Amino acid sequence: MAEENYHIKVMSKQNLATAIDWAVAEGWNPGLHDIESFYAADPNGFLMGFLGDEAIASISVVKYDNSYGFLGFYIVKPEFRGKGYGLKLWQAGLQYLEGCNVGLDGVVEQQGNYKQSGFKLAYGNIRFEGFGGGDEPEGIGLVDLNELSFSEVQDYDSAFFPTERHVFLKHWIGQTGSSALGIKQAGKLVGYGVIRPCRNGFKIGPLFADDALLAEELFLALKSKATPTENVYLDVPEVNLAGVALAEKYSMEPVFTTARMYTGETPEISVNRTFGVTTFELG
């Protein structure tokens, strides 16, 4: 490895756009407007490796607070793999998150490497692919999340994430081209979800609900925002059997799996009410 020419820098927003393009090439299908939400979560949490002036590797190590961070976007350009550049970037990323419990959603074939760095398997996730269309359910208390007080959304979200993520969440539910819907019953939020446009079709994420019936109603409402010819994706924790059953009920097919792993103890989040993961990149 040409050590003297290899250096690591905090990404600019333009660098992050490059990393997102690399993710497209890897088949990860990021959202069209994810960059604003991602960068807002932690502008210092995106690192890029350069060989001279050429960007060749990326990693995100978003620090939500001093107790929890999430690792993603770990990509080395194909022609530079196997030369140690990625490992140096990985080490720099984990150093930034030192002292944090670190989560990731990694490709299954890399589990062994992640375990060598101290990550332990919590559960798997399954990406399901189907189609949009259908009618929005009526009479179930659907609300636009952006018309609620943000604190109400934040309070509900707190059961599903290891720590507070209000900066990211505010951007996520308001991002361009997305629909963010909740269900209120007896004056209380009992579920919410977001559908956003991606390079290919749309992704629903998150999809959080107090029970499977509410999750299904939300899923149908979100799915209706896409046309019957557009692909819709849902990333379901495989331990949530009701979530897997929901995807299968609507003829969605599994196309991709990841391993949710942590360096510390598995956080006490409500996986049994998580019918769709927010995003594999940031948790």
Written as tens digits, the pLDDT of the chain (283 aa) is 456 699 999 999 999 999 999 999 988 899 999 999 999 999 999 999 999 999 999 999 999 999 999 999 999 999 999 999 999 999 999 999 999 999 999 888 888 889 999 999 999 999 999 999 999 998 889 999 999 999 999 999 999 999 999 999 999 999 999 999 999 999 999 999 999 999 999 999 999 999 999 999 999 999 999 999 999 999 999 999 999 999 999 999 999 999 999 999 999 999 999 999 999 999 9
Please tell me the predicted confidence (pLDDT) of residue 6: 95
Please tell me the predicted confidence (pLDDT) of residue 1: 46
Which domains can be identified in the chain, with CATH numbers? Answer: 3-125 (3.40.630.30), 127-276 (3.40.630.90)
Secondary structure of the chain in the HEC alphabet? CCHHHEEEEECCHHHHHHHHHHHHHCCCCCECCHHHHHHHHCCCCEEEEEECCEEEEEEEEEECCCCEEEEEEEEECHHHCCCCHHHHHHHHHHHHCCCCEEEEEEEHHHHHHHHHCCCEEEEEEEEEEEECCCCCCCCCCEEEHHHCCHHHHHHHHCCCCCCCCHHHHHHHHCCCCCEEEEEEECCEEEEEEEEEEECCCEEEEEEEECCHHHHHHHHHHHHCCCCCCCEEEEEEECCCHHHHHHHHHCCCEEEEEEEEEECCCCCCCCHHHEEECCCCCCC
Please tell me the predicted confidence (pLDDT) of residue 3: 63
pTM of the shown model: 0.95
